[in-house]
Amino acid sequence: MTTLDSGERRRGSDTRPLITELIDEGTVESIAQEAWISLVGEDEVLVPLPGGPATDPVSSWVDVVGPWTGSVVLTTGRRTAEELTRALLREHSPAVLEEEDVADAFGEIANVVGGNVKAALPGPSGLSLPDVGSAPALRNPADLCRVELQWRGEPVSISVQGALPPLPAPR
């Protein structure tokens, strides 16, 4: 019997996984809670309630490159990022925070959350150094796992978002 190669199998393997097939909001929230307790403080909790848009938002993120490629992005208000920095520095917190301190501390939180998200995804994957600034653009709204939380009453969101645009719809 002759089997015709229709190309279906090849096309099937060409599809990329969406983040929603790989990780859920509960896992991302759990990773964030553990990072907060370890880095920010034992009594510091993230409340799983949407806090609305942040005032003067700032983001920190790391990129994951592998079977799934995208970014793990933390976003909060600049004042909250400064509060987080003071919480991490504790007794070493200076009277006046430098921009460099906030980038270091807020970036390190993204590094810890992102490293643990990466460990929960299929590998092997690479992890970038953290970056701080305006959040990377959302390229594919379907390739997004987002949790909205509050810390000390202020909004903190975590987006695990794909870096690639949607694939063309199959004909």
Interface residues with another protein (CB under 8 A)? 34-35, 37-39, 85, 88-90, 92, 101, 104-105, 107-108, 111-112, 114-116, 118-119, 123-124, 127-129
Alpha carbon 87 to its chain centroid, in Å, reads: 20
Minimal distance, residue 107 CB to another protein, in Å: 7
Closest CB to another protein among 129 and 142? 129
Cβ-proximal residues to 151 (8 Å cutoff; 6+ apart), any chain: 36, 40, 44, 45, 46, 47, 76, 80, 84
Closest CB to another protein among 120 and 138? 120
Closest CB to another protein among 118 and 149? 118
Contact, 106 vs 20, CB < 8 A?
no
Minimal distance, residue 157 CB to another protein, in Å: 19
Contact, 168 vs 16, CB < 8 A?
no
Minimal distance, residue 60 CB to another protein, in Å: 12
Closest CB to another protein among 8 and 42? 42
Beta bridge partners of 147: 158
- Report H helices in the chain: 8-14, 25-35, 78-89, 99-120
